[in-house]
Structure 1
Amino acid sequence: MSKKERYEMNKLTKRLRHAVGDAINDYNMIEEGDKIMVCLSGGKDSYGMLDILMSLQRVAPVKFELLAVNLDQKQPGFPEDVLPAYLKSVGVPYRIIEQDTYSIVKRVVPEGKTTCSLCSRLRRGILYRVASEEGCTKIALGHHRDDILATFFLNFFYGAKLKGMPPKLVSDNGEHMVIRPLAYVREKDLIRYAKLKQFPIIPCNLCGSQPNLQRQVVGDMLRDWDKKHPGRIETMFSALSNVIPSHLNDHNLFNFKDLKSDGILPEGGDMLFDEEEIAPTNELSRLFAPQKLELGE
């Protein structure tokens, strides 16, 4: 590695560790004595997540264990030796589960239809089972900031929901805690990190080869915005943590029915001047002040 590459690596590593550390602290993702199942697919995101968690494990104020887990779904041509060799080389405990979900998906899903939904459900059920078998208290998934935003827009455009991908949640069966340590990490940083670290990437031929995936379309849209409008992605991601229920339409989330104009401003209620946007001036104040009508004789 050249001197320039080492400099870039050190700078990028610090940024990634800082982002992951912030997410862990903000959402209390890791606690004393946790045993974390790190789901490893062979892609850049999960490699990066494992690598960063291993580095944080050495300096963290709390003690926790890591168990790298890969589900070998028996896709044709899958290089079975790559992940075991890598995991041995970095010295992390691991487990490889062999389960032929590939044949199930190909048999059940009609030709030309996307396989992601069924594949994800099957994979999730197996990983939950293994987490219980191994006594893992947390399940770490490698979704990054761009994945979270893409999920929000997928639900917005196609699902009619304001719903994203939370950094921490309870699993579908209510028995496991799922965490996403890469929640604050940019995908382009993970791409650079994987290249500099030379992770042995294994492509997913099952889902990656599907044309016209909605997630791919949304991902392309976000990348285009990021290129044409620097800073827009950061602003949108920040919005996911700055929700004002009183300014949306969900009457189950905010009590619109009992809302009264009683002189008491409800939490999140409208303000004449938003301090972050407009500084009030005497002229503007006069414009919106109650007017006294002068009646002619």
Structure 2
Amino acid sequence: MTQNQELTKAQKYNFDKLQKKLRRNTGQAIADFNMIEDGDRIMVCLSGGKDSYTMLEMLSSLQRSAPVSFELIAVNLDQKQPGFPEHILPEYLESLGVPYKIVNEDTYSIVKEKVPEGKTTCSLCSRLRRGILYRTAKELGATKIALGHHRDDMLETLFLNMFYGGKMKGMPPKLVSDNGEHVVIRPLAYCREKDIERYTEMKAFPIIPCNLCGSQPNLQRQVIKEMLRDWDKRYPGRIETMFTAMQNVVPSHLADFSLFDFKSIDKDSGAINGGDIAFDKEDLPSSPVSGDGTSEFDPGEKLDILQVN
């Protein structure tokens, strides 16, 4: 066997391993939040970016082996930005044999007319896009709307709300749309962005640039993204631990009296969730906690998980 053949074999092994991981994480998120039910018609929002391509691949793969029957229809909103390569998605979807609909709406002109020069267009553009997608879902008879947000998007949103909005609020894997008419799901909720990036490179998806409108990226989100990526490099496992924390909320040890009845606590209430151990010297694992809240590591090892410097 030549060196090139060995490399090809290694690449195939790595690809299969990564694909199985993404598929497993997607399937687990779908099961945990009951995202897909028998007879669902799912509108898969396809932007032409790495996340939505990966989501479509995972859902198509699961569709072939899932114990329930469901339909997929890919939908792309062509907002008429100058230079938008409108042929790419139809050609790609036809090659896969995936049913699709391209929605043509000139929101670009509306945004340019309403937003002053130099101001970010993202907020108005998002509202217009959301309304059009909701309308399209109704026209198609879709029972679910699937978006390509992943685990890192959910963490970024949590920190954005804490740092800039004064709320401990993230991006849920499943919710009802703001107009109250649709169920929105995020099948990639358990998938890491860096895994999606690697998968995209291996699959060579025909990526459509996201900067065609000329708008600046959300600067606050960029700050949070860079902070999390820096933590991930300097402290491997921290991101996994933080995401696990989003699934292990203890209202009795926060300060939201609408979530926990602090007023009724008295000396007869007994210790709640361990009582007051805020000042104790805690034994914390040096590596990430698993999804079930347990650790595989020596509990005697200590780590200040709040240290960022």
Alignment partner, residue 123 of structure 1: 129
Give the match for residue 113 of structure 1. 119
Question: In the alignment, is residue 270 of structure 1 matched against residue 270 of structure 2?
Answer: no
Query: What's 1:229 paired with?
Result: 235
> Mean Cα displacement is larger for which, 109-118 or 159-168?
109-118
C-alpha distance in structure 1 between counterparts of 2:283 and 2:59, whole Å: 37
Give per-residue Cα distances to partners, 1:93-123, cap 9 Å, x unaligned: 0000000111112222222322222111111
Secondary structure of 1:182's aligned partner: coil
2:102 partner SS: strand
1:1-297 mapped onto 2 (5 Å cutoff): 2-206=8-212, 210=216, 213-266=219-272, 268=273, 270=275
CA-atom RMSD, angstroms?
2.2
Q: Is the 8 A contact 2:39 2:69 kept in 1?
A: yes
Q: Aligned AA for 1:194?
A: T
Q: Deviations over 1:117-147 (max 9, x none)?
A: 2111111110000000000000000000000
Q: Secondary structure at the match of 1:97?
A: strand
TM-score normalised over the length of structure 1: 0.89
Whole-angstrom CA distance in 2 between matches of 1:217 and 1:106:
26
Report the CA distance shift for 1:77/1:206 in structure 2 as closer, same or farther (over 3 A).
Answer: closer
Contact 2:121 2:215 in 1 (8 A): no
Q: Is the 8 A contact 1:32 1:63 kept in 2?
A: yes
Question: In the alignment, residue 154 of structure 1 is paired with which amino acid?
Answer: L
| SS state at 1:2 partner | helix
Instruction: Supply the AA of the counterpart residue of 2:208.
Output: I
When Rg is computed on C-alpha atoms for both structures, the one with the higher figure is: 1
State the match for 2:293 in structure 1: none
Q: Which 4+ stretches in 1 moved above 6 angstroms?
A: 273-276
* Residue pair 2:81, 2:213 contacting (<8 A) in 1 also: no
How much has 1:271 moved relative to structure 2? 5.9
CA distance in 2, matches of 1:38, 1:235: 30
Checking the alignment, whether the CA contact within 8 Å between 1:116 and 1:207 is kept in structure 2 is no
**Maintained 8 Å contact 1:35/1:138:** yes
Name whichever of 249-258 and 200-209 sits farther off: 200-209
Q: CA deviation at 1:205?
A: 1.4
In the alignment, the residues of structure 1 paired with residue 44 and residue 282 of structure 2 have an alpha-carbon distance, to the nearest angstrom, of 43
Calculate percent identity across the aligned residue pairs: 69
Q: Distance in 1 between matches of 2:198 and 2:15?
A: 9
Deviation at 1:64, TM superposition (A): 0.3
Which amino acid counterpart does residue 186 of structure 1 have in structure 2? R
Aligned residue for 1:174, secondary structure, equals coil
Residue 207 of structure 1 and its aligned partner are, at CA, apart by 6.4
The residue matched to 2:85 in structure 1 has which SS?
coil
Check 1:163–1:196 CA distance in 2 against 1; reply closer, same or farther (3 A cut).
same
Report if the CA contact (8 A) 1:69-1:97 is conserved: yes
Cα distance change, pair 220–277 in 1 and its aligned pair in 2 (3 A): closer
Distance 2:152 2:119 in 1: 24
Q: If the length of structure 2 is used for normalisation, what is the TM-score?
A: 0.85
- Specify whether residues 263 and 154 from structure 1 end up closer, same or farther in structure 2 by C-alpha distance, changes over 3 A only: closer
- In structure 2, the residue matched to 1:286 is none
- Asked if structure 2 preserves the Cα contact closer than 8 Å seen for 1:246 and 1:269, the reply is no
**C-alpha distance in 2 between matches for 1:208 and 1:195:** 25
Cα displacement (A) at 1:63: 0.3
Aligned counterparts of 1:181 and 1:249: Cα–Cα separation in 2: 31
Counterpart AA for 1:97: V
Deviation at 1:217, TM superposition (A): 1.4
Would the alpha carbon gap of residues 63 and 245 (structure 1) be closer, same or farther in structure 2, given more than 3 Å must change?
A: same
Quote the offset at 1:5 in angstroms. 1.9
> Residues 39-87 of structure 1, C-alpha deviation per residue, up to 9 Å, x if partnerless?
0000000000001100110000000000000000111100000000000
Cross-structure match for 2:3: none
**SS of match in other structure, 2:179:** coil
**Corresponding residue of 2:291:** none
